[in-house]
């Protein structure tokens, strides 16, 4: 059982009209293919490959009726929050709207999609505040990373930069006085993106929809789990989300101890997370006929934990779950404890 949070989620949502609703997917993590509730389309199979470097999904759909079924398909990306000055998020292509290099094919042919992007300020207990037009008016890219936004923010007047900070749209840190070349201003908004297009399911036939993208990697720059001082509530949260058992905790503790002895002189140990939203995809006719999940941790030395039934190790880095007539009962959350050499 295993986890890793690569803030990367792509949902495929079939809606009744092209004007899809904003509540189609507002979750963090990688989303499975979601159909509007219908008894016309069956998900014959889903093959899902999750890794820190690439995510691939292959869906086989069958139209159970004898007539063509046309609708709009939307691919909601994950909520992508700006991390402020403490962010450790790595984005595949921060200067591009398609920042996760998302691609789709239908029966092997590339399919173009339209893109909608909107930016929000989100605070617990408060309504979301949209700032899309405010950022666009200032010619600031909507991808909330320093790399994507800093040049544009640097061209603003001191008054404009201060206005962004006062509105909690950017984090000025503790040093900026907005005079001259300012200190780095870290984006604080959350980006919500959707790809969408028209799709026809031929009557009585199957089609194969394939998606791939490079996940957005986020996590901690050090280890929390494995620490002897971790509090019971945090430990319980790891266990509930990633099914961290006693053997994993023992290995995590040993890794934490080794990291302390090494003192980051030659290696660095840290946590990463990958999520995949599959629960919102249960709107097709019946369960998933054949479901296969492969989680690839990438490095044999990496520790991995996620929840699943009948998981088996199929290689030094890969773990597989293969189930017939599958009805998901939880989303997929993977925890990775990685160790890299210090340059």
Per residue in 292-320, pLDDT tens?
999 999 999 999 999 999 999 999 999 99
* Spatial separation of the C-alpha atoms in residues 297 and 249, rounded to whole Å: 17
Residue 52 is encoded by which pair of tokens? 């820190």
Determine the pLDDT at residue 60: 94
Mean pLDDT of 324-330: 90
Q: In whole angstroms, how far apart are CA 134 and each of 129, 140, 142, 169?
A: 11, 9, 10, 10
Q: Which two tokens stand for residue 228?
A: 């002897």
State how far the Cα of 200 lies from the Cα of 234, in Å rounded to an integer: 46
CB 9 within 8 Å of CB 27 = yes
* pTM for the predicted model, two decimal places: 0.77
Pair 103, 184: CB distance under 8 Å = no
pLDDT digits (tens, 9 = 90+) for 121-178: 998 889 999 999 999 999 999 988 877 888 888 888 888 988 998 888 988 766 555 5
**pLDDT at position 88 over 90:** no
d(CA 306, CA 290): 20
In contact, 31 and 280? CB cutoff 8 Å: yes
What mean pLDDT comes out for the span 337-341?
A: 89
Quote the pLDDT of residue 27: 24
Angstrom distance (rounded) from CA 189 to CA 179: 23
Which residues on neighbouring strands pair with residue 116, listed in sequence order? Answer: 194
Q: Which domains does the chain have, with CATH numbers?
A: 12-144+189-341 (2.60.40.3680)
Could you tell me which residues come within 8 angstroms of residue 33 by beta carbon, excluding any fewer than 6 positions away?
11, 12, 43, 46, 57, 59, 209, 211, 281
């Amino acid at each position: 059982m295993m986890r890793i949070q690569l803030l990367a989620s792509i949902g495929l949502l079939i809606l009744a009209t092209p004007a899809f609703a904003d509540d189609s997917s507002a979750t963090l993590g990688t989303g499975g293919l979601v159909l509007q509730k219908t008894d016309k389309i069956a998900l014959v199979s889903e093959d899902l490959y999750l890794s820190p470097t690439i995510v691939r999904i292959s869906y086989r759909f069958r139209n159970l009726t004898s007539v063509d079924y046309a609708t709009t398909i939307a691919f909601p990306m994950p909520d992508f929050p700006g991390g402020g000055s403490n962010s450790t998020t790595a984005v595949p292509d921060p200067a591009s709207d398609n920042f996760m290099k998302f691609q789709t094919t239908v029966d092997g042919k590339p399919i173009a999609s339209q893109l909608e992007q909107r930016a929000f300020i989100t605070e617990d207990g408060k309504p979301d505040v949209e700032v899309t037009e405010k950022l666009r008016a200032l010619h600031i890219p909507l991808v909330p990373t320093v790399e994507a936004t800093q040049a544009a923010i640097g061209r603003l007047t001191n008054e404009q930069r201060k206005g962004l900070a006062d509105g909690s749209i950017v984090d000025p840190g503790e040093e900026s006085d907005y005079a001259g070349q300012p200190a780095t201003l870290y984006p604080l908004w959350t980006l919500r993106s959707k790809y969408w297009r028209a799709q026809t399911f031929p009557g009585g036939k199957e089609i194969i929809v394939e998606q791939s993208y490079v996940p957005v990697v986020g996590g901690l720059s050090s280890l929390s789990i494995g620490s002897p001082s971790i509090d019971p509530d945090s430990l319980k949260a790891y266990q509930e989300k990633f099914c961290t058992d006693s053997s994993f905790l023992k290995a995590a503790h040993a890794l934490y101890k080794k990291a302390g002895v090494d003192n980051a002189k030659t290696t660095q140990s840290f946590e990463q997370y990958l999520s995949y939203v599959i629960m919102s995809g249960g709107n097709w006719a019946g369960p998933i006929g054949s479901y296969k999940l492969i989680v690839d941790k990438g490095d044999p030395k990496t520790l991995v934990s996620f929840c699943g039934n009948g998981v088996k190790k199929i290689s030094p880095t890969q773990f597989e779950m293969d189930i017939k007539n599958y009805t998901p009962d939880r989303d997929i959350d993977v925890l990775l404890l990685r160790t890299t050499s210090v340059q």
